[in-house]
Amino acid sequence: MVWTSKEQRRKHYLKHRDQILAKNKALGEVERKKRNQNALKYYYLHREERLAYAERINSRIIHSSKTTLRNVDKPPKPSCCTICKRQSHLVFHHWVDETPEIGLWTCNRCHHMIHRMIRVGLIIASTASQELFI
C-alpha cells in the first residue's frame, strides 16, 4: 500500500489494529524461539571453551602489564592503609609476580603512588622495596 498522508496511515492502523498486533506478536514469538534455539545450540557446542574460561577466571589470570590474583594466601586485610594509615578501600599490592603472597595492603592513592615511583625509576619492583614503606 502506498500512503499519501499520515492521516490515512493512522486510519488504517486504527481499523486493523488487532490484526496488526496479533501478527507482530506471532512474529515476535517465532523470532524468540529461533533465538533461544540458537543460544542453546551455541551453549552445547562451546561447552569446553566455557569450562576452560571459567577455570582461567577462578585461578590466576595474568595480563601483559596487569596481574589479577585470586586464590592466593595474602596477609590478613588490616583496617587502614599500611603506608598512610587512612581508612579507605584497600587493595593488595604485590611486588613480584613469582611471589604474589608478599605485598602490602594500601589505599588506592598509595597504590598508584607506588606504581608511579616504579615507572619513574625511584624504586624497583622487588620485595626489598617493601621495607621502604613499612
- For the stretch 82-114, pLDDT in tens is 888 888 888 888 777 667 777 888 898 988 888
pLDDT tens digits for range 35-51: 788 888 888 888 888 78
State pTM to two decimals: 0.43
Tell me: pLDDT of 128 over 70.
no
pLDDT at 61 over 60: no
What residue spans define the domains of the chain?
6-45, 64-133
Query: What pLDDT, on the 0 to 100 scale, is given for residue 65?
Result: 44
Examine the pLDDT at 129 and tell me if it is beyond 80.
no
Q: What is the pLDDT of residue 9?
A: 82
Tell me what the mean pLDDT of segment 112-125 comes to: 82
Q: What percent of the chain has pLDDT over 90?
A: 2
Confidence band of 117 (pLDDT split at 50, 70, 90): confident
N-terminal to C-terminal alpha carbon distance within the chain: 80
pLDDT at 63 over 60: no
- For residue 107, what is the enclosing H or E element? strand 99-107
- DSSP notation for 28-91: HHHHHHHHHHHHHHHHHHTHHHHHHHHHHHHS-EE-SS-EE--S--PPPP-SS-TTT---S-EE
**At 28, is the pLDDT very low, low, confident or very high (cuts 50, 70, 90)?**
confident
Q: How far is CA 19 from the centre of its chain?
A: 44
